[in-house]
Amino acid sequence: MEKTLPQYKKLHLDLKQGILSGAISKGSLLPSENELSAQYKITRATVRQGLQELVREGFIEKRMGIGSVVVNDRKTLGLLTFKGFSEVLESSALSSTTQNLKMGEIGVWPSPFFYELAPSEKETGCYFLERLRSVEGHPVMLEFTYIPQKSVPNLMGTMGNGSLFTTLQQTYTIEILKVLQDVRAIHAPETIVKRLGLEPYTPVLHINRKYLTSKPDFHIYSSLYCNTEKYAISNFFN
C-alpha cells in the first residue's frame, strides 16, 4: 500500500521543484504563510515545517519583516564530469571521505543490468564496489560500480582504499576517456534513502554511467544515487 505524502513534505517538494526548475527565481519572495496555508489547505504550523526544510537545505532565507526569500546558495559539485570523485574534490577547500561498504568479485553480472553488456564482458565475472561518498561529513553519493575482471587481475588488492581511476592508470595503464550517462530524478528505495541520511519521500538524483577507456572493449559501469539537498550536482565545480 502506497504511503501518503505528509502535508509539509508536499509543500516542501512543490516549492523546491519550482526553485530548481527556475519557475521560482532567485531573489523572489515566496507567498506568505497565510497564503500558503490557504493554497494547500493546511495549518500555518505545517507551512512553517515545510519552509524550515527549505531553509535547512539552503534554498530560502527567512528575513524579519520581509518573509521567505529564495537564495538557493548551495555549492555545486562537478560530479557530472567523467573525473573521479576524489579528483573533483581534491582541488577544493571542502573535505571529502569515501567509505567502502562492499568490495569483492562477482562471478555473474547482475541481471537485468542497467547497460547492455558486450558478449566478451558477459563471459567474465566482474569486481563490485559499493561506496558512500561524503563532503564535509554530509553524504552526497551512494555508488555501485562494476568492473570487468579481464585485464585487471587482483584489482581489489591493488586498489585497497585508494582511487579506482588512479589505480587503473598507474597499475594497469588504463585511462578513462569518456562517460555516457543517463540522469533522472527518482524516489529511491528506502534502503538507498537511509544510506544517504534522507527522510522518506525525498527525491534523489539517479545516474547510470558507462565509462569508455583507452583499452578496447573494457568499460566500467556505475549506478549512482546523489543527495542534492546541500550540494547541487553539475558538470562544473563552484
What domains appear along the chain, each with residue ranges and CATH number? 7-70 (1.10.10.10), 75-233 (3.40.1410.10)
Q: What is the pLDDT along the chain (238 residues), one digit of tens a residue?
A: 345 778 998 899 889 888 877 788 888 999 999 999 999 999 999 999 999 989 887 889 999 889 999 986 666 665 656 566 766 666 566 788 889 999 998 888 999 999 999 888 888 889 999 999 998 888 999 999 999 998 899 999 998 888 899 899 999 999 999 999 998 888 888 899 999 998 877 888 899 999 999 998 899 999 999 988 777 776 644 4
- For residue 139, the tally of other CB atoms under 10 A from its CB is 20
pLDDT given for residue 121 in this prediction: 87
> Which one-letter DSSP state was computed for residue 6?
P
pLDDT given for residue 229 in this prediction: 79
Contact 175, 213 (CB under 8 A): yes
Residue 124 cell numbers, joined? 567474465
Residue 44, by phi and psi: left (phi above 0), alpha (psi -120 to 50) or beta? alpha
pTM of this prediction exceeds 0.85: no
d(CA 149, CA 226): 27
Contact 227, 140 (CB under 8 A): yes
pLDDT given for residue 52 in this prediction: 92
Task: Report which secondary-structure segment, H or E, holds 57.
Answer: helix 44-57
Taking the C-alpha atoms of 8, 11, 17 and 23 in order, what is their torsion angle to the nearest 10 degrees?
A: -150
d(CA 121, CA 95): 36
pLDDT given for residue 233 in this prediction: 73
